[in-house]
């Protein structure tokens, strides 16, 4: 329906979709698998990656937020690599992955696990820590998005 609306509005190839999976919420730490309740699917990390790749081939998705659990660094890295090959302009944004935390962001930069960060000042606790995280993201050529829910700023 969304694709049909995009086409009818004349925005085909001008408007792209985004997905905030929030996958930490459907990751089972005990089994190491992801459970998609709506489809009654239990997927390994590789199967979930392929699930997303299938969506990319069907839908104009260019924005992914939290596609894997916050400690599933290897899957994040693998997906970033796939996105770079499939669509050089896709955004892979870490919210739960980075939690506006400089140490987690530094690890993400080193692992090449994403190319963007969602900033929520209330995740880390202080404005100084938030600013330091933004600076590191900018120095690392990450896209920076200030959360509309938690940042309460329009800049």
Name the pLDDT band for 125 (thresholds 50, 70, 90): confident
- Report pLDDT for 149: 66
Measured in degrees and rounded to the nearest 5, phi and psi for residue 29 equal: -60, -35
What is the predicted pLDDT for the residue at 47? 98
> pLDDT at residue 70 above 90?
yes
Confidence of residue 75 (pLDDT cuts 50, 70, 90): very high
Instruction: Indicate whether 60 pLDDT > 60.
Output: yes
The pLDDT, as a whole number, for residue 88 is 85
Question: Are 64 and 23 contacting, i.e. CB atoms less than 8 angstroms apart?
Answer: no
Give the pLDDT of residue 152. Answer: 54
**Dist. CA 98–CA 111, nearest whole Å:** 12
Q: Give SS3 for 132.
A: helix
Residue 150 has pLDDT above 70, yes or no: no
Determine the average pLDDT of the residues in 85-103: 94
CA distances from 148 to 43, 142, 153 (A): 32, 18, 7
53 contacts 82 by C-beta, under 8 angstroms: yes
- Mean pLDDT over residues 47-75, rounded? 95
């Amino acid at each position: 329906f969304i694709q049909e609306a995009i086409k009818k509005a004349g925005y085909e190839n001008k408007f792209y979709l985004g997905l905030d999976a929030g996958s930490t919420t459907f990751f089972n730490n005990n089994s190491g698998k992801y459970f998609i309740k709506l489809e009654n699917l239990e997927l390994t990390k590789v199967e979930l990656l392929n699930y997303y790749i299938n969506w990319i081939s069907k839908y104009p998705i260019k924005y992914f937020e939290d596609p894997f659990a916050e400690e599933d660094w290897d899957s994040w890295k693998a997906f970033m690599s796939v996105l770079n090959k499939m669509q050089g302009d896709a955004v892979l944004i870490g919210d739960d992955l980075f939690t506006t935390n400089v140490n987690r962001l530094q690890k993400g930069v080193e692992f090449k696990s994403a190319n963007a960060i969602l900033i929520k000042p209330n995740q880390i606790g202080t404005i100084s820590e938030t600013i330091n995280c933004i600076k590191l993201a900018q120095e690392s050529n990450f896209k920076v998005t200030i959360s509309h829910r938690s940042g309460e700023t329009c800049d």
